[in-house]
Amino acid sequence: MQVDTDDDDRKTSSSWQCIEVIDNAHKRTVRSIAFEPTQSNALATASFDGTTAIWDTADNSTHECIATLEGHENEAKSVAWSTNGQLLATCGRDKSVWIWESNGEGDFDCISVLMEHTQDVKMVVWHPTQDLLASFSYDNTIRVWKEDDDDWVSAATIAGHTSTVWAGDFSTNGKYLASVSDDRTVRIWAQRASEGGSADAGFYYRPDLSYECIAKVPDSVHTRAIYSVSWSEPSDNGDCGRLATGCGDNTVRVFKVTETESGLNVDLECAQEYAHGLSDINCVKWNPKHKGWLATCGDDGVVRIWYMEP
């Protein structure tokens, strides 16, 4: 894995500039940030002060806070927009998941508060093509939520990890869900076929459906807790894309995922040790527009941009 600046499409990879600093955005640590997918300027930030702030620019000037969403009893851990930008999900240490609806111009309504997790909720992520939400928790489970009669309900509880589930990500086609845990495993989940539907149809949730682990990276590969996972776009070779993981063992790993007749193969392609020196890797994220670009950040306070050669 390396930063490569020879190609015109990647020529800015070594010349990133900070174009704006939002001072005093929150009273405590800012834990999560997400751009609104249908706009270039709007973003949301979730903080340990228990609030989620919505930021936007007026006349392409600096970002201003246009809304503050309150409700979590303490730390807000994660924020995520749905694909169409109409829904926003937050989660927190208070074991809850909140779903907000955007009415435009900084007006948001809380449409559901979900309390089924029994411990701290670490992360939320939306399905890429459907209004389905996954949440990952200290209670060792993943829950999938869907709308039902103008309310949101738990459509599935996914169990299998033996310790905190820190994070997850859907494949870009929505067919698979990857999760990472304090138990040092990566697991990939798919809908179990039943009379109500087919696994080939992707994630389509009904209360009577269940989900199974169809691939697993064993705990011998990562030596400490895995804090982050990101699923890339498929390559031109017909695979299912790459999974990148960020780990407490100071290493960034990249796995190639391919479909087989019996399930999925997950093969380690690259391991970048000491990617942030002796610091934990807290987050990894593939660039959705530039294939092969991977951003990582760690306890060293540094953001690094990597290029993974095809």
User: Residues 109, 149: contact at Cβ < 8 Å?
Assistant: no
Phi, psi of 189 (to 5 degrees): -115, 145
Phi, psi of 50 (to 5 degrees): 90, 0
| Parallel/antiparallel/unpaired status of strands 87-92 and 76-81 | antiparallel
The pair of three-digit structure tokens given for residue 131, joined into one six-digit string: 């209004």
Tell me the pLDDT of the chain (310 aa) as tens digits.
333 333 444 444 456 778 888 888 888 988 999 999 998 789 999 999 999 999 998 766 788 899 999 999 999 999 999 999 999 999 999 999 999 999 988 899 999 999 999 999 999 999 999 889 999 999 999 999 999 888 899 999 999 999 999 999 999 999 999 999 999 999 999 987 554 444 454 555 445 557 899 999 999 999 999 999 999 999 877 789 999 999 999 999 999 999 988 889 999 999 999 999 999 999 999 998 888 999 999 999 889 999 988 7
Task: Please tell me the predicted confidence (pLDDT) of residue 99.
Answer: 97
Query: How far is residue 174's CA from residue 209's CA, in Å, rounded to a whole number?
Result: 16
Task: Please tell me the predicted confidence (pLDDT) of residue 14.
Answer: 55
Task: Please tell me the predicted confidence (pLDDT) of residue 11.
Answer: 46
User: Helix, strand, or coil here: 228?
Assistant: strand
Distances (CA, A) of 275 to 22, 266, 267, 270, 271: 27, 22, 20, 12, 9
Query: How far is residue 185's CA from residue 179's CA, in Å, rounded to a whole number?
Result: 8
Nearest to 282 by CA among 52, 30, 92: 30
The residues, ordered by sequence, that sit 6+ positions from 225 with a Cβ below 8 Å of its Cβ are 163, 164, 166, 181, 182, 184, 247, 248
Q: What is the dihedral of CA 16, 22, 26, 27, to 10 degrees?
A: 100
Phi, psi of 201 (to 5 degrees): -80, 0
Which residue type sits at 284? V
Query: How far is residue 112's CA from residue 109's CA, in Å, rounded to a whole number?
Result: 9
Q: pTM for this structure?
A: 0.88
